[in-house]
Amino acid sequence: MIWLDRRKNSRLSDVFSYPEDDSVLDPLLAQHLSFFGIDFSSLKKTEMTTAERELDQNINFDWNRIQESGQDLEPIFGPGYTGLVNLGNSCYMAATMQVVFSTQSFSSRYYKNQALKLAFETAPSDPTVDLNMQLTKLGHGLLSGKYSVPAPEVDDIADSATSTSTKQEGLPPRMFKAVVAASHPEFSSMRQQDALEFFLHFLDQVELGNVAKPDADPSRSFKFGIEERIQCSSGKVAYNRRHDYILSLNIPLHEATNKEELEAFHKAQKDSEGKDVSSNEIVRPRVPLEACLANFSAPEEIQDFYSTALRAKTMAIKKAGLTSFPDYLVLHMRKFVMEEGWVPKKLDVYVDVPDIIDISHMRSKGLQPGEELLPEGGPETEVESNEVTANDVIVVQLMSMGFGHIPCQKAAINTLNAGVEEAMNWLLSHMDDPDIEAPIPKGSQGGPEVVDQSAVQTLISFGFEEEVAKKALKASGGDIEKATDWIFNNPGGSGSSDMDTTTSSSTPTTDTTAGLPDGGGKYRLFGIVSHIGTSTQCGHYVAHVLKDGRWVIFNDTKVGVSVNPPKDMGYLYFFERINN
């Protein structure tokens, strides 16, 4: 639970200093809680509901399974087996960096081919703010074995023999964290963060730090090309191409392989309503990774797609594929989803991930003989090249609701004649404009109003570019949800900034994969980053890495031989290409 002081809008974790481990020791807890109006002495234990007991059971199960609690883990020390000290909710960074530095590209760039002394001699005047210098320090710290030594024995009842035996002194990466997070306010904080967002931010920073020497840039080993083919009802096609570092996969729960077992489990839960279910074994949907990959490549219908060939909205089919296969393929499982009402939820699901995968069938083919490209442009380019006139049907329907003729015309024009509902939303949000009844200048486009900047910022936070967000909001009457739908339904006229867009038009580029690594589509699993908790903003991250033919668990400063790696519970999966 995260307590929030509403008067000061600050977290309790920002007020008090807690230990770096998972326990919270505060001898003055009652006094501190009273500061927030909580009378500790008056609190009474209440009966847990069935849902609360189930949630508690799930969290405890995940915690024990992912951390391999209770297992007799053999501790490992030496080069490549160095733990990272938790700097206060920095496990997302520790887990990610353990996997990253297990790759040949990063270990070569910042350890094997980079002497520490030479790095200091050639570093900028202030090496404390140079990312490459700090990565070299981190690489030597993790891979040299210098800091991989047992921690002193601790006589504490809270420390079990298992946890103490695998704990190290570890390496505190304070300077590295300060440098890599300098350009990101959230990662600069002491709060828990999303390991995926950190991974993408980190690779972006590495790429920027190696602009002068792109051939030495280790982040390119993760980069690959994605191509989306869109065919509208006219039969003509468009190709959108971009670069990315991760392949983000939806989890199709309807593809679960244990449906009968699930039904029996849910029936047993219903029958035991109000009873103690703590002894019941957890049953979750089991979805094969192949189903997630197939879902990514499967054809998808796009409703209300604007066809530049038909100059109207129609239905289109979109299909995605990869234009290149990276040295290291990272799969992101979309376990965190939005329910109705934009309520975040974590999917309670297992994904069965094999040790070897082959994605050769996912390679895109590009423009094929006989295919005809859609003409350039979109609804927004028509606005730029032609005078927009209000759709009479939309205007008449709005006027029948009691609105004036000029406001109705402006509503239709400013929403690009997208529809009555869109025009209505625009009209309702602009009724108080001082010039709403002012005549529309002849030969103009009706002077589209500046969209609400807060709505623009909301769409930008979703990962869309500012110009795309503005176009979508104008076409949707300022409605954020409809604007999001507009972006996805008009991919020919939009792109998303979180995917390093290279091409977003119907004209194919010569080669969008130039300089990127490429090879066969066969991969071997070598790293897993798992998350414990109900949200990416809370909980704990643990890494499992395949090293020297055995799986190793990296849990902050605890490093040991894994007995049962949670291959079906990962959040990020790291694969390395097998060169045949």
Q: What is the residue type of 270?
A: K
Strand order in the sheet with 501-505: 300-307, 312-322, 224-232, 237-244, 501-505
CA torsion sign for 520, 522, 528, 532 is: positive
DSSP letters for 209-235: HTTT-GGG-GGGGG-EEEEEEEEETTS
Q: Give the 3-state secondary structure of residue 137.
A: helix
**Degrees to nearest 5, angle at CA 291 with 290 and 295:** 115
Separation between Cα atoms, residue 350 and residue 568, nearest integer Å: 5
Please write down the long-range contacts of 505-512, taking CB distance under 8 Å and 24 or more positions apart: 505/238, 505/240, 505/376, 506/237, 506/238, 506/239, 506/308, 506/373, 506/374, 506/375, 506/376, 507/373, 507/376, 508/239, 508/241, 508/366, 508/367, 508/373, 509/241, 512/225, 512/227, 512/241, 512/243, 512/323
Looking at the chain, how many residues does it have?
Answer: 580
* Distance between start and end Cα atoms, the chain: 50
Please give the single-letter amino acid code of residue 498.
Answer: D
Q: Do 223 and 491 meet the contact criterion of CB atoms below 8 Å apart?
A: no
How many Å apart are CA 34 and CA 12, to the nearest integer? 12
The tokens describing 273, both together, are 């309503």
Could you give the CA distance from residue 563 to residue 258 in angstroms, rounded to a whole number? 25
CA atoms within 13 A on the CB side of 529: 29
Retrieve residue 96's tokens. 């990610």
- Segment (H or E) for 4: strand 4-5
Distances (CA, A) of 40 to 7, 22, 36, 43, 549: 20, 22, 11, 6, 52
Read off φ and ψ for residue 106, nearest 5 degrees. Answer: -80, -40
The answer to whether 243 touches 226, Cβ cutoff 8 Å, is: yes
Q: Which residues are catalytic?
A: 91, 540
Nearest by Cα to 554 from 175, 200, 168: 168
Q: Where are the beta strands (DSSP E) in 12-61?
A: none
Run of H or E including 116? helix 116-122
